[in-house]
């Protein structure tokens, strides 16, 4: 084995890297376990505990230290289906954007074209902007489309003479800005909400934003938070010099009232109160300014907390004067506090005795995020309220543009432009600020993004905002300023809520299936391959370890389909070992020594291993880019699993064999009972191919008939609507529940058993076109009305709910169809490149299409006949693409062996039919063994994986069986039939004497 030392070094490095990545998960689980033990079921206490340790070091590696917050960001996060929470898709209303950019014209052609474009956008992937421009063009109206958008606010981009193409570009640019700005607003709001490990991402190529909030329990608050309008405002500010004396009074007042509430004076403060009240400002500033941000609890700290309760957690904003002495810092910032202490500061400032000290025109507001120099500390600003309804001196709707830039010293700045009305207001506001030497605070949704000082009056509406900015800071601030002129709104068009009880059940099911599947694979490998099976099992252990470590390093979110991917990886990881072991047995059969058989086995198995795994990897890539949420989790796990499987099968198992050979240890690749399994098989697959074709044709026709007559049960993500998972205390009659709900909704309702007989899944299309909160509330009310009609006072609980708008459903369905077609095409293209003959690609495409049709037909025929859901949804798409990849995987192994045989002497002197038959028979043991290991694993997943993915695991289980059949009986024989007559003699019997050759 070449480079054995390098491979050992690589294994050690990868192992340490994975251990490092996984260690953060263990650390955070320990902290959270301590929090749960401390809280004893009180969620508020538990959250307070975790907030208090957020900035504390919980993981010390010597060379690096990590706080709980930093460790939490590096752990393996759990998806909604495992942890519970809320998943919503926000859609930016582009029709509202178009109307607002045109100042809501009353023109009939304009509004009619826009309404028609909105209707067409629900059934096509063409952008709403292109549809609108095309629809308006089709009206042949006399008014140019540019005239609607040539407003004062848009004058920098559009004129009345702008072309149709320029209007398209302008609208698309504004749409992109609106989506980006909405994303920024949502990001900030969710960060303020305090969700652990949120996932927020723009769905590229659409006007939608995906938001995943694990652990959320207050869904109504989230809906209001996400759908509220962005509110950008400019405020005048108070000076730190003016506010500090007031903060001193607040501090003293708090010290007195808190002391009286306790009833006793702490010993540590008994003799120091008088000294404290007479202490000079300079001494107090010196003491507070010298207090380290991360000071540990001590007697001095306790004394400070007693004497100065506010200043103990809120550091005044101090700097140094010309003599280097502590002094108040200029500006609107009046202090900064640790993130964990901000709630306590707010509590102090809201007390009645403190509110009486604070002037009516002063309001304290926090910065949006910690500054880099203060790390975990937020800055507190003193905001001056003007004599307006909100107290702001200006609102953000006057901003026409904002962009990040650099000044003449190459320092990051932000350029801001306003419309004419805004310019007039800005001139007045900046003149007053310059005269009073105050700052102007830029506030979005109640938090301060920046509070720049004003040197002079700014006329013309064009301003430059500078400060201690990073490039990212200026990008964020520019987005915030543009968010003030959001001429559109965002609404929830898809929603899924998973209760924590369902999430825990999913975790249990996933872990059980993973462990049992792991044990089954290990037992089978040892039972069939003797001590070589032990080497394969060690490789599988490393494979799972590497897979989890890489997932952790990528900050991937682990979902239930992701766990299914891990379980499936255990089965596919064996595939490479089986290919190698079967090849080693062949080499031993040729009389080679064990050392030579191992070397040649790895060498000759390599092309088949690479070809088969690459095809599966390609499908994983397609799934990743076409799927969303849990499907992306499955695709991520599948792709990483393929890479780690290759690494462990090729290198780690080989290292084990080399270790045994160097020490003259006995190596056995089979037991007596398994040594001759399918050895020298000589079935007439090619001779009897027409019989198999007929069987496949009959089954395919029956499946197509079922597909077009009975159809499918579409999941909510394909048809739209709302789905609820409901659990009753006792078993229920499905027909009774269905009749009750049909009567309430006035439309047919789908009711299915979901797992046990007391748990059901309800799907309704009532108000399918409505995605508003009012429609959600009405549907939920009617659902509860129908569910409560079940006789016997059977109580129930809604465990989870999902909402998908019709436009989302149409988009998901189209993407699924394209993904399946594209997968077949890209696999066929890969085979064409590898084997350089179109007959191989065509045969593989026919075989995989056959598998897809049969699997679809089985789902159609069995729907309603089996006691579990067979919905066609995104999970089914992931399953069928995985099956197609496996089908090609098996087929490619046969093709590789055929290509090898065609270069042998007997391959050149034997007719093609005989060579094809020889290739199928020689790989038969590998095909059967690999399929059996996968069937074992998938059977475990089907039985123990839980109801949520039962249909998913059933699809792959049946698909593997069908794919195994097609790779043996359909793929290679079809390739033989596609060969020209002068290159392939058609075989009518197992033995044919005529000799024809084919170019490999």
Residue entry with tokens 């034997």: 910
pLDDT of residue 292: 41
Helix (H, G, I), strand (E, B) or coil at 462: strand
Min mean pLDDT across 175-184, 247-256, 345-354, 536-545 is at 175-184
Extract the tokens encoding 815.
């993407």
- The pLDDT score that the predictor gives to residue 56 is 81
Tokens found for residue 270: 């008994």
Instruction: Return the closest-CA partner of residue 761 out of 867, 869, 679.
Output: 869
| Distance from C-alpha of 281 to C-alpha of 662, rounded to nearest angstrom | 79
pTM of the entire predicted model: 0.68
Domain 90-229, CATH class in plain words: alpha beta
Q: Where, residue-wise, is CATH 3.30.70.3400 in the chain?
A: 90-229, 721-804
In sequence order, the 6+-apart residues with CB closer than 8 A to the CB of 777 are none
| The pLDDT of residue 79 is above 80 | no
Distance, CA of 442 to CA of 425 (rounded, Å): 15
DSSP E strand boundaries for 153-307: 199-203, 208-214, 232-237
In tens, the pLDDT along 210-243 reads 887 777 766 776 777 677 666 788 899 999 999 9
Phi-psi region of 929 (alpha: psi -120 to 50; beta: other; left: phi over 0): alpha
Residue 302: its pLDDT value, please? 65
Q: Summarize pLDDT for 234-246 with one digit per residue, the tens.
A: 899 999 999 999 9
pLDDT at 92 over 70: yes
Domain with CATH 3.30.1360.200 in the chain: 393-485
Contact predicate 402/415, CB 8 Å = yes
Among the residue ranges 172-176, 291-295, 795-799, the one predicted with the least confidence is: 291-295
Is 921 or 875 the better-scoring residue by pLDDT? Answer: 921
Strands annotated E in 93-217: 199-203, 208-214
* CATH T-level topology, domain 393-485: Gyrase A; domain 2 (3.30.1360)
**Model pLDDT for residues 625-678, shown as the tens digit of each residue:** 876 666 777 788 888 988 888 888 888 888 888 888 888 888 888 888 777 777
Q: What is the mean pLDDT of the chain?
A: 80
Between residues 63 and 689, the one the model is more confident about: 689
Architecture of the domain delimited by 721-804:
2-Layer Sandwich (3.30)
Count the Cβ atoms, other than its own, within 10 Å of residue 194.
Answer: 10
Tokens 């340790």 correspond to: 53
| Res. 358: pLDDT tops 60 | yes
Name the least confident of 462-471, 691-700, 848-857, 915-924.
Answer: 462-471
What pLDDT, on a 0 to 100 scale, did the predictor assign at position 574?
A: 78
Q: List the beta strands (DSSP E) in 299-439.
A: 315-316, 318-320, 326-328, 333-338, 362-366, 377-384, 394-395, 399-406, 412-418
Q: Each residue of 933-949: pLDDT tens digit?
A: 888 888 888 888 777 77
The phi and psi torsions of 505 (rounded to 5 degrees) equal: -60, -40
């Amino acid at each position: 084995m070449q480079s054995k030392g390098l491979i050992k070094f690589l294994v050690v490095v990868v192992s340490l890297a994975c251990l490092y990545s996984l260690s953060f998960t263990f650390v955070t689980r320990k902290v959270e376990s301590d929090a749960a033990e401390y809280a004893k079921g009180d969620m508020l206490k538990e959250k307070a505990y975790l907030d208090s340790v957020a900035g504390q070091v919980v993981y010390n590696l010597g060379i690096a230290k990590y706080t709980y917050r930093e460790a939490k960001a590096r752990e393996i996060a759990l998806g909604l289906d495992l942890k519970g929470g809320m998943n919503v898709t926000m859609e930016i209303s582009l029709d509202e954007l178009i109307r607002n950019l045109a100042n809501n014209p009353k023109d009939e052609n304009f509004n009619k074209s826009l309404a028609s474009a909105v209707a067409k956008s629900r059934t096509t992937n063409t952008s709403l902007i292109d549809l609108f421009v095309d629809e308006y063009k089709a009206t042949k109206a006399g008014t140019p489309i540019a005239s609607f958008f040539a407003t004062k606010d848009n004058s920098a981009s559009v004129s009345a003479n702008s072309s149709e193409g320029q209007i398209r570009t302008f609208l698309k640019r504004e749409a992109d800005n609106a989506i980006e700005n909405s994303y920024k607003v949502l990001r900030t709001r969710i960060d303020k909400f305090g969700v652990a490990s949120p996932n927020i991402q723009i769905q590229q190529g659409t006007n939608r934003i995906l938001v995943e909030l694990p652990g959320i329990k207050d869904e109504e608050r989230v809906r209001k938070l996400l759908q509220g309008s962005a509110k950008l405002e400019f405020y005048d500010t108070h000076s730190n010099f003016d506010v500090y004396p007031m903060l001193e009074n607040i501090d003293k007042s708090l010290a007195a009232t808190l002391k009286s509430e306790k009833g006793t004076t702490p010993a540590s403060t008994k003799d120091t109160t008088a000294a404290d009240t007479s202490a000079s400002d300079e001494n107090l500033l010196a003491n507070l300014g010298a207090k380290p941000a991360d000071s540990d609890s001590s007697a001095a700290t306790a004394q400070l907390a007693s004497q100065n309760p506010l200043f103990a957690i809120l550091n005044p904003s101090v700097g140094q004067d010309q003599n280097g002495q502590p002094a108040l810092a200029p500006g609107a910032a009046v202090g900064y506090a640790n993130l964990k202490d901000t709630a306590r500061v707010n509590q102090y400032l809201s007390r009645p005795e403190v509110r009486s000290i604070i002037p009516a025109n002063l309001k304290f507001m926090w910065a949006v995020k910690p500054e880099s120099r203060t790390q975990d500390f937020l800055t507190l600003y003193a905001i001056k309220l003007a004599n307006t309804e909100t107290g702001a001196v200006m609102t953000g709707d006057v901003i026409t543009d904002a962009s990040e830039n650099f000044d003449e010293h190459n320092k990051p700045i932000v350029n801001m432009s306003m419309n004419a009305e805004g310019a007039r207001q800005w001139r007045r506001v900046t003149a007053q600020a310059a005269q009073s030497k105050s700052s102007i605070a830029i506030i979005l949704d109640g938090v301060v993004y920046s509070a720049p000082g004003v040197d002079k009056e700014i006329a013309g509406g064009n301003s430059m905002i500078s400060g201690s900015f990073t490039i990212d800071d200026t990008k964020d601030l520019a987005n915030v300023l543009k968010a003030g002129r959001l001429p559109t709104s965002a609404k929830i068009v898809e929603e899924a809520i998973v209760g924590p009880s369902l999430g825990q059940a999913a975790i249990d099911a996933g872990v059980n299936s993973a462990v049992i599947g792991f044990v089954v694979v290990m037992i089978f490998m040892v039972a069939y391959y003797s001590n070589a099976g032990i080497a394969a099992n060690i490789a599988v252990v490393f494979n799972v370890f590497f897979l989890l470590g890489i997932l952790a390093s990528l900050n991937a979110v682990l979902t239930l389909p992701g766990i299914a991917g891990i379980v499936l990886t255990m089965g596919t990881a064996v595939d490479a070992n089986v290919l190698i072991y079967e090849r080693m047995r062949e080499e031993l059969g040729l009389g080679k020594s064990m050392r030579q058989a191992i070397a040649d086995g790895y060498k000759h198995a390599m092309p088949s291993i690479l070809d088969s795994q690459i095809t599966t990897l390609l499908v994983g890539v397609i799934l990743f880019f076409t799927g969303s949420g849990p499907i992306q989790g499955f695709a991520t796990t599948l792709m990483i699993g393929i890479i780690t499987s290759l690494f462990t099968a090729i290198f780690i198992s080989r290292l084990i064999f080399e270790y045994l050979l160097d020490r003259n240890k006995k190596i056995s690749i089979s037991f007596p009972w398994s040594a001759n399994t399918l050895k020298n098989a000589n079935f007439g697959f090619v001779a009897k191919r027409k019989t198999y074709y007929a069987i496949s044709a009959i089954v395919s026709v029956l499946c197509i008939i079922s597909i077009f007559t009975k159809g499918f049960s579409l999941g909510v993500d394909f048809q739209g609507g709302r789905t609820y998972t409901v659990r009753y205390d006792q078993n229920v009659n499905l027909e009774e529940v269905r009749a009750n709900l049909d009567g309430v909704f006035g439309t047919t309702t789908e009711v299915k058993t979901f797992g046990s007989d007391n748990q059901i899944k309800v799907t309704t299309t009532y108000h399918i076109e409505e995605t508003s909160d009012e429609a959600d509330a009405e549907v939920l009310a009617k659902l509860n009305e129908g569910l409560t009609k079940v006789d016997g006072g059977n109580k129930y609980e809604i465990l989870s709910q999902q909402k998908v708008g019709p436009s989302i459903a149409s988009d998901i369905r189209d993407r699924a169809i394209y993904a399946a077609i594209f997968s077949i095409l890209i696999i066929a293209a890969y085979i064409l490149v590898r084997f350089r003959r179109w007959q191989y690609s065509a045969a593989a495409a026919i075989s995989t299409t056959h598998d897809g049709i049969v699997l679809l037909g089985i789902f159609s025929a069995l729907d309603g006949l089996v006691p579990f859901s067979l919905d066609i949804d995104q999970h089914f798409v992931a399953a069928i693409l995985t099956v197609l990849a496996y089908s090609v995987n098996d087929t490619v192994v046969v093709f590789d062996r055929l290509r090898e045989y065609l270069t042998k002497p007997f391959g050149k002197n034997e007719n093609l039919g005989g060579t094809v038959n020889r290739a199928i028979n020689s790989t038969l043991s590998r095909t059967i063994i690999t399929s059996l290991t996968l069937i074992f694993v998938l059977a475990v997943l089907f039985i123990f994986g839980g109801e949520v993915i039962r249909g998913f695991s059933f699809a792959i289980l049946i698909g593997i069986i069908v794919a195994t059949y097609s790779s043996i009986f359909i793929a290679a024989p079809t390739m033989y039939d596609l060969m020209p007559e002068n290159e392939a003699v058609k075989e009518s019997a197992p033995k044919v004497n005529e000799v024809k050759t084919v170019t490999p």
